[in-house]
Chains A and B, each alone.
Chain A
Amino acid sequence: MEDQGWWGRFRRSESFAGLALVSPTALYALLLLAAPLATILLYSFLTDGDTQTRIVWDFTLDNYIATLTEPLYRAVMIRSLSVSILVTAVTVILAFPVAYYVSFHVAPQRKSLWLFLITIPFWTSYLIRVFLWKVILGYNGVINSGLTTLGIIDEPLTFILYNVNAIVITLAHAYAPFAILPIFVALEKIDRSLLEAGQDLGESKAMTFLRVTLPLAMPGVVAAVLIVLIPTVGDYVTPQIIGGGKIPMVANLIQSRMLDLDNRPLGSALAVVAMLVVTVVALAFVALNARFLKVKK
């Protein structure tokens, strides 16, 4: 029995087979990710109710006005963004030489061992790693007590104490493998004969690196920047533990508005704005590097 309509053709197509196969997973992501995100977006336009009603169905832009004009929110938003831009810069710049070393100077059969060593710390408990940085950087912490014992310093160093520097160090440590892997993949794809060609044509090693290697590695650098920048904006644990709750970032603010103050619309608006801001920054960065990204064969 051959059915002829578009449905019959669609049913036997490759597209249908793929969609049918992906549907359980897609449905899960739709219900537990897309729908909740849409709920947050909806909440951000509604009005806060009391402890009984929680949410009042009155459409308003007040939550966005508060988010954008209130000095506290703006200060926290700016701090979060600058911390995550700083962390991204530090992480990617420190990571590049490591990725370069593994790609260009490590024997092929030992590359996976290096990558495995780089990724292990990333898979161990984030909470414990953050807490350890607090212990390492504290007033009587490992660094200060160690340096005092060795007689190198008399007074504990204070610039590493529970402040923004400590947050940047901790986050840069946590996201290191995220930055190394995409750069490594981009470097691996570079055709080594291009580098020889550059040098045969009289370029110095440094110039070959700047004019051939670096532009070809840029897709990896851009990926690394995005994969570090976006999650760090919303980091909750590090400001909570390292900053002792005194230097909140946007995630801590979202949590306190939504749960402590039970103002779900305002918390939602903060979340939406934070995501929008980081998306704009990310897109601007991608646009700036657009010329490197289209060099595909």
Chain B
Amino acid sequence: MTDGRGLRLYAILYLVFLYAPILLLPVFALNDATIVAFPLSGFTTKWFGQLAQLPTLFDALRNSLIIAVSSSILATTLGLFAARASSRYDFAGKGPIMGLIMLPLVLPEIIVAMSLLMVLLGMGLNLAVWSVILGHTLICMPFAIAILSAAFQSLDRSLEEAAYDLGESRWSTFRLITLPLVMPGIVSALLISFTISMDEFIIAFFLAGAEPTLPVYIYSQLRFPKQIPSILALGTILVAVSVVLLTIAEYFRRRGIAKVGGKDTGGFL
């Protein structure tokens, strides 16, 4: 274990590198200067106050919330079907089918966004909140499935068989036995999908039409140097909300695995 200390130092430095940008965010959001540079010139909360006056910010927030709630529910529901099917059954074409469903995990988002955009424009449809929901559901599904599959796989099958033996139907067994056991996984999948959708930019940028989401709104404001401190304040709030949601999601994910007596392998992926 002699090399453990050097590795530990490296791992900690690596974490510092990972967190550096996020930690600088509140520092400059609370700095009393319009340019983002050292030395810091004083403490202020006025940038947070100015958010209330930013035009159309609340429209963007409303769009983002509608999109994130809808696509997290859709992605988790569709994810439940796929996760249950892939962890419980062997079926013809399982590899290619699951491969297609999980493909957005590695496919560049620009390809997903552009191909969807071409089809929607080709059909002569008007882009709006609904088209972003379609795209976000697609990219949230693989993450929901990864979390839900872990929950289903650690499920003891004999519990379900016992319910069948005691005369429960397939559906009532699912509702009374399976669903409560994987519920923490479902909550975790919902929260992760919500966070992904809230933060996603590319698909929202190309598919939102005239109804921007919060990240698209932020992108449009980055061109104005005067707005930068307010945008940093907004970013601070967004990151804080994400971290809180993720911590809750992690809590549920762990509880779900503990509930069915599985071993925690750690991580969402």
Contact with B along A267-292 (1 / 0, CB 8 A): 11001000100000000000000000
Contact with B along A239-268 (1 / 0, CB 8 A): 001000000000100110011000010011
Cβ–Cβ contact A98 & B10, under 8 A: yes
Contact with A along B69-113 (1 / 0, CB 8 A): 000000000110110111011111110011011011111111110
Sort A-B residue pairs by CB-CB distance and give the 10 closest, nearest first: A234-B108, A18-B89, A18-B91, A36-B115, A145-B37, A22-B85, A21-B85, A132-B21, A25-B82, A112-B266
CB of B256 closer than 8 Å to a CB of A: no
Contact with B along A120-142 (1 / 0, CB 8 A): 11011111110111011000111
Contact stretch, chosen from B51-59, B161-169, B178-186, B196-204: B196-204
B residues whose Cβ falls under 8 Å from a Cβ of A:
1, 3-4, 7-8, 10-11, 14-15, 17-22, 24-25, 28, 35-39, 78-79, 81-82, 84-86, 88-94, 97-98, 100-101, 103-112, 114-119, 122, 134-135, 137-138, 141, 145, 192, 195-196, 198-202, 206, 215, 218-219, 222, 231, 235, 238-239, 242-243, 246, 250, 254, 264-269
Q: Which residue of the partner chain, among B84, B122, B137, contacts A28 with CB atoms under 8 Å? A: B137
Q: What residues of chain A lie closer than 8 Å to B104, measured between beta carbons?
A: 33
Q: What residues of chain A lie closer than 8 Å to B222, measured between beta carbons?
A: 131, 241
CB of A39 closer than 8 Å to a CB of B: yes
A residues whose Cβ falls under 8 Å from a Cβ of B:
14-19, 21-26, 28-30, 32-37, 39-40, 43, 54-55, 94, 97-98, 100-102, 105, 111-112, 114-121, 123-129, 131-133, 135-136, 140-142, 144-146, 148-149, 173, 176-178, 181-182, 184-185, 188, 205, 226-227, 230-231, 233-237, 241, 251, 254-255, 258-259, 264, 267-268, 271, 275
In the bound complex, CA of A150 to CA of B196 (Å): 39
Q: What residues of chain A lie closer than 8 Å to B116, measured between beta carbons?
A: 32, 36
Of residues A21, A35, A111, which shows the largest number of chain B Cβ atoms within 10 Å of its Cβ? A21
Cβ–Cβ contact A271 & B111, under 8 A: yes
- With A128-B25, A144-B37, A234-B107 given, name 9 new contacts (CB 8 A): A36-B119, A98-B10, A123-B195, A124-B242, A124-B243, A125-B242, A176-B14, A231-B108, A234-B109
Cβ–Cβ contact B24 & A120, under 8 A: no
Of residues A14, A15, A29, which shows the largest number of chain B Cβ atoms within 10 Å of its Cβ? A29
Cβ–Cβ contact A35 & B85, under 8 A: no
Question: In whole Å, how far is B250's beta carbon from the nearest beta carbon of chain A?
Answer: 5
Cβ–Cβ contact B103 & A15, under 8 A: no
Question: In whole Å, how far is A156's beta carbon from the nearest beta carbon of chain B?
Answer: 10
Cβ–Cβ contact A123 & B246, under 8 A: yes
Q: What residues of chain A lie closer than 8 Å to B86, measured between beta carbons?
A: 18, 22
Q: Which residue of the partner chain, among B14, B114, B145, B268, contacts A271 with CB atoms under 8 Å? A: B114
Question: In whole Å, how far is A250's beta carbon from the nearest beta carbon of chain B?
Answer: 8
In the bound complex, CA of A34 to CA of B107 (Å): 12
Q: Which residue of the partner chain, among B79, B100, B202, B246, contacts A26 with CB atoms under 8 Å? A: B100
CB pairs A–B below 8 angstroms (20 shown): A15-B90, A25-B145, A26-B100, A102-B11, A115-B266, A118-B18, A119-B269, A121-B18, A123-B196, A124-B242, A125-B239, A127-B199, A131-B222, A142-B24, A149-B38, A176-B18, A227-B105, A236-B109, A251-B110, A258-B114
Q: Closest residue of chain B to A105, judged by CB?
A: B4
Question: In whole Å, how far is A256's beta carbon from the nearest beta carbon of chain B?
Answer: 11
